Structure 1
Amino acid sequence: MEKEAAGEARESHGTARKRARTGGGKDFIARLSDDILGTIISLLPTKDGGRTPVLSCQWRHLWRSAPLNLEVSIRPPGAAGPVLTPSRVQPSAVSQIISQHHGPARRFSFHCRGAGDLCAQAESWLHSRALANVEELDIAHANPRLLASVLRSASTTILAAKINGCDFPHEIVLAMNFPSLKKLTLFHTSISEDVLHALLSGCHALESLYMAEVSAACRLRVSSPTLKTIIFSHSSSEMAQLVILDAPRLVRLLLPYYYGSDRVTIRVAGAPMLEILGPFIAAVSNILLFQGISPVSSANSMRTIKVLALRSSADKLHAVLNILRWFPCLERLHVTFGKHYDMDQQNEPQHHPLHPIECLEAHLKKVAFKPFQGYGKQVEFAKFFVLNAKLLQVENRASRHARFVFKIISY
């Protein structure tokens, strides 16, 4: 009897631990509403979402009514080995998928390297009930005619569009209208100045524009009454020129991988609300790219900038201080240290202590350095701001409100 009781106790204890690990044996996923489960399914790749009906009776009907995420890819002619994107479907399966799907459309992704002429098929897909109101487009390697067909068919409903590895012909967007488009990404794309201008003119709700490795015959001219964020990235050997002519609501101009080389010119002529800028290498020669700034008069400085990101070597403090003169109302400074950021700084003038820097006197509240390893030059760099940024100092001692955060990053 004692052995049986002990065995039952062990079994009961094991069952309790198992129930504790599984939430008392409850199926929390089964308790989710069909709407939430449908949203989860819509985030899965097409093939994975299409397999969910085998999970249970509850899931059997969900995929057909969930927001459709349709990912189509064409295998390049003569390609050997396994398919690089096994979660995508071939064009031959699209008609069957959209005929069986009765829910709304969320995303249509079409990577069509070596596609040939699929314009008619793409138009029929996007005019179907399943894709009639698609919200996101992801088009890669489409020929100009196919790209025009896809954009034309979905122009009135898309909220976000990503176009990769395509060439825009002159006639593609001149008569197009994108009333709902909020986010546009152009990656490794060729587009003329006039076509980009026409494209942006047809976007009446655009808030974010991301351009990476975009080539143009002349320059990339941006005018938009609604844009809030521009991200511009360029690292190739081709010349690139970005001119922001009229962007009254622009707040963020982000420049990832921008090193201020002679291949890239950025001019800001009309952005009265611009607050966040960078990162770029700390050198006055780079700041002079921004039209309207004078090296003599502070009246033409960029007083709207509140957050600035720079790349610098730890021994280039004077270069950073010279840059700060251009941003008198700066509140946050982010500096990324690296030895490879020494270019174009050989003749940088020295900062004179008798010439105060306005942002250090009245506005700068936060300075972040990364990676901060604590060697001599970095300590001197940080010490200057602790001693001279007035909002971090009271009577030659650190303010009681100043906070120093140190983080160790493992590589």
Structure 2
Amino acid sequence: PQSTHARALRSKPSCPPAAAMNPAMAAELRRRESESVLFSRLLSFAHSALPDPPVSAAARLSALLLPHDDHISRLPDALLRNIVSRLPVKDAARTAALSSRWRGVWRSAPLVLADAHLLPDLIPAVTRADARRVPSVVSLILAAHPGPFRCIHLTVSHLEEYQGPLARWLGLLAAKGTQELVLANRPPPVVLRLPAAIFGIDTLTRLYLALWKFPDIPRTAYFPNLRELGLCTVVIESRHLDSILARSPVLETLCLQGNMLMDRLTINSRSIRCVYVVATSDLDITVEEAPQLQRLIVWVASTCKGGSPRKTIKIGRVQALGLIGYLEPEFHTLQVGDTTIKPSAKPSPFTMLPTVKILGLKVRFGVRNEAKMLPCFLRCFPKVERLHIESKETIESSSKINLKFWKESGTIASICSSVNLIIFHNFRGDQCELCFLKFILESAQMLTKLVVVYRKGTFASLAEARSKVDPLFDVSWASKCCSLRLVQSALAEGEGLKILNFKRGSNFSLSDPLAFTGRC
């Protein structure tokens, strides 16, 4: 017999069936979901390029009551201000409760304000409600502290509702001597116009902007102290960037990531040392005169369409350029001086850049036209010592690209006499890859290490991977002290873009920022 509870449930009226969704409403929901996913990826991509705040909120500030005297408070004011300026903003403000003297220290210390440090502790993710509460707290802090501001790092605030306050913030930052500013917009999938008040902060030494639309630049704008500039997914025209570069006389590092509306980048600067361009493929790059330029790093996104016209990378007067990469025959036309590099052009002193010691290339070895351009590119850099090559996947590989093909391409000075390290990425064991590596091993007299890197999942086992490089030992190696190292990369498809980021590329303490295999 059924229980009373079961009979009661059965006797309850059934819920009405769900109404069929209107097709237009369903399409609108799908569109919104697609936009949300796209924007989340865009936001993650932009934030991957932004520098971290100079202070961390991971540590906890605490006061320990001891019977002996307070020796810390006896320290000079300058040293106390230095201590407080290295604390997250909430902890820095809390020091004012210690004593009347500490209250003055906090107000005079160079402040570090990161809005991420104003969020509730231990939350798993930033919610829109949390982010909406942050701007009001930022307004209070900026108004209360007399400055100077060592660093302002605003990356989690939703600013679409605070455009008026944002302009006032920038005015306060200009009046109170801000040195570093990281400003990222978090709107719905639209790009807000950046307030023109940004151009009034002439004390800036470091500026990173993400997800903004650039305004017209006033004639009075000038950045006399700016040394580092990063523009990440910013809607900006080439003429605007030209104007900024012309008004930044001490700029050393320029980072561009996924910027829209730009069709060219022209470098004409006597101070710039590093130019980093990532995922901005539809861009002609011209280095006219840059006597201090040491690094030109170009990383094209894997989503670029090969059918689009090639973009020109033109290298003019450079005396210190030591690193260039990644050149891609699929997307790039290389021009040195007034000469366009192509198979029919004969090498000459006017088409060579002997200062370059580190070179990065991305090649589809199975595509004949791209393979023909590889020796032409290499001949432009006769003194290269470190060669980074990424093998790009080829759908259909030409059987004519064999060892004979490479030998007929002729002698390459850098391969024969200067290259001592080669890192070959994305090895798949294809015949066209093996033929090129055999050619290298038979020619490279100074080579001491060949690192062959394959992605996880390319081969079923380490034994299979080793069997793929066995044919390399069938040829006579030109260098008797060369070693071959087989490495499995821990990076998935596309993750190399995250590794070779602005922080690594512009870090001059790393002699070779391209030398990252991501090995397990």
Structure 2-normalised TM-score? 0.57
The answer as to 2:327 corresponding to 1:280 is yes
Match of 2:291 among 244, 248, 253: 248
1:361 aligned to 2:408? no
Q: Is the 8 A contact 2:286 2:316 kept in 1?
A: no
Q: Aligned to 1:254, what secondary structure does the other structure show? A: strand
Q: Name 1:384's counterpart in structure 2.
A: 439
Deviation at residue 268 of structure 1 after TM alignment: 1.7
Name the structure 1 match of 2:206.
160
What is residue 302 of structure 1 aligned with on the other side? 352
Asked if 1:334 corresponds to 2:381, the answer is: no
Partner of 1:133: 177
Aligned ranges 1:64-213 → 2 under 5 Å = 67-72=110-115, 83-84=127-128, 90-98=134-142, 101=145, 104-110=148-154, 112-118=159-165, 121-127=168-174, 132-141=176-185, 143-144=192-193, 147-152=195-200, 154-155=201-202, 157-170=203-216, 172-213=217-258
In structure 2, distance between residues paired with 1:83 and 1:192: 33
**How much has 1:202 moved relative to structure 2?**
0.8
| Residues 71 and 89 in structure 1, CA contact (< 8 A), matched pair in contact too | no
Q: RMSD value over aligned CA atoms?
A: 4.3
The CA deviation string for residues 224-270 of structure 1, in whole angstroms up to 9 with x for no partner, is 1111111112357xx43333332222221101235684356233242
**1:229, 1:252 within 8 Å by CA — same for their partners in 2?**
yes
Q: In structure 2, which of residues 484, 489, 497 is the aligned counterpart of residue 409 of structure 1?
A: 489
Deviation at 1:69, TM superposition (A): 2.1
Amino acid at match of 2:446: L
Q: Runs of 5+ in structure 1 lacking a partner?
A: 1-29, 76-80
Alignment CA distance shift 1:286-1:91 (3 Å): closer
- 8 Å Cα contact 1:337-1:370 kept in structure 2: yes
Secondary structure of the residue aligned to 1:392 is coil
- Taking the aligned partners of 2:83 and 2:484, their CA distance within structure 1 comes to 44
What secondary structure is seen at the aligned counterpart in 1 of 2:272? coil
Matched, 1:270 2:324: no
What's 1:312 paired with? Answer: 363
Question: Deviation of residue 35 (structure 1)?
Answer: 6.9
**In the comparison of the two structures, how many residue pairs are matched?**
360
Q: Is the Cα–Cα contact under 8 Å of residues 173 and 195 in structure 1 kept in the other structure?
A: no
- What's the secondary structure of 2:311's corresponding residue? strand
**1:335-382, Cα deviation, whole Å (9 max, x unpaired):** 123425x69999989434472111122222211112456676655443
- Cα distance in 2 for partners of 1:345, 1:183 equals 45
Q: 2:366 touches 2:398 (CA, 8 Å); kept in 1?
A: no
Residue 223, structure 1, aligned to residue 268, structure 2: yes
The residue identity in structure 1 corresponding to 2:180 is E
Partners of 2:315 and 2:90 in 1: how far apart?
48
The letter of the residue matching 1:254 is: I
Give the secondary-structure state (helix, strand or coil) at the position aligned to 2:161.
coil
Q: Which amino acid aligns with 1:158?
A: L
The residue matched to 1:138 in structure 2 has which SS?
A: strand
Distance in 1, Cα, partners of 2:409 & 2:283: 39
On the 8 A contact 1:302/1:326 being kept in 2, the answer is yes
Distance 1:315 1:120 in 2: 54
Residue range with higher mean Cα deviation, 247-256 or 177-186: 247-256
> Which amino acid is 1:205 matched to?
V
TM superposition shift of 1:122: 1.8
Amino acid at match of 1:270: G
Bigger drift between 226-235 and 288-297 goes to: 288-297
**Distance (whole Å) between structure 2 residues aligned to residue 47 and residue 258 of structure 1:** 39
Which stretch of the first structure deviates more once superposed, 117-126 or 186-195?
A: 117-126
Contact 1:47/1:89 (CA < 8 Å) preserved in 2? no
Task: Answer whether contact 2:443 2:477 (CA < 8 A) is retained.
Answer: no
